[in-house]
Chains A and B, each alone.
Chain A
Amino acid sequence: GQQVMQIPQYQHVQEGEDFTTYCNSSTTLSNIQWYKQRPGGHPVFLIQLVKSGEVKKQKRLTFQFGEAKKNSSLHITATQTTDVGTYFCAGSGRGTDKLIFGTGTRLQVFP
């Protein structure tokens, strides 16, 4: 079945450093979504990418969807303590609503 892996599993950074998490799917995705889950909370939608090679920015966050639509990345510039949490990618294949989540990357930011 479809598998979505993320690396790294954990990342500890000093406030102000950059952070990147990578997402890789075993199958081609129709689109990719990114979510953030704060400790003790539930996942909250950040963004969706649909087109091959698409790049979107949200303030300090940059999201990219690979040309083959099998991988994606999230880059945070100059991390802040408010960025702490676990970041998940999620996607589904064509013609289905089956939404599979990646394994997640937990980000810790030290002040």
Chain B
Amino acid sequence: DGGITQSPKYLFRKEGQNVTLSCEQNLNHDAMYWYRQDPGQGLRLIYYSQIVNDFQKGDIAEGYSVSREKKESFPLTVTSAQKNPTAFYLCASSIGLRGMNTEAFFGQGTRLTVV
């Protein structure tokens, strides 16, 4: 089946530890995104990538890092520098025509809890 997969669905970590969230897509999409959603809130853009080996900061990139070494993979690391890491993290991908966004497909999300 084609789609976008995030793992794990739930993740618990101790404060001060880095943690990496996985995002894989087999849709052959160029563009990939990471969003953070807090309870009752909208989606805030953390990082996005328009093409492999390139990525750009979103509105709330501090305390996060990403890599895009392969077209199908866009992992997000939540570092210990992120002051409030507990949240629902959503990964998305789209065909990525420059200047003309197309439909974004979302993964099921990872709910990260830092204790």
Chain A residues engaging chain B, CB cutoff 8 angstroms: 1, 6, 30-31, 33, 35, 42-45, 48, 50, 88, 90-92, 94-104, 106
Contact = CB atoms under 8 A, between A and B. Distances in A.
A91 B94 CA distance: 13
A30 B45 contact: no
Interface of B: 31, 33, 35, 40-45, 48, 50, 56, 58-59, 90, 92, 94, 96-109
Nearest to A104: B42
B101 to A, nearest CB: 5
B98 A42 contact: no
Contacts of B45: 98-101
- Most chain A beta-carbon neighbours within 10 Å: one of B42, B58, B103: B42
Contacts, number: 74
B57 to A, nearest CB: 10
A-B pairs with the 10 shortest C-beta distances? A101-B43, A42-B106, A95-B99, A103-B42, A45-B103, A97-B31, A104-B42, A97-B50, A92-B101, A97-B96
B56 A43 contact: no
13 contacts: A6-B42, A31-B101, A33-B101, A33-B104, A43-B104, A45-B105, A50-B100, A91-B101, A97-B48, A99-B92, A99-B101, A99-B104, A104-B41
A84 to B, nearest CB: 15
B108 A97 contact: no
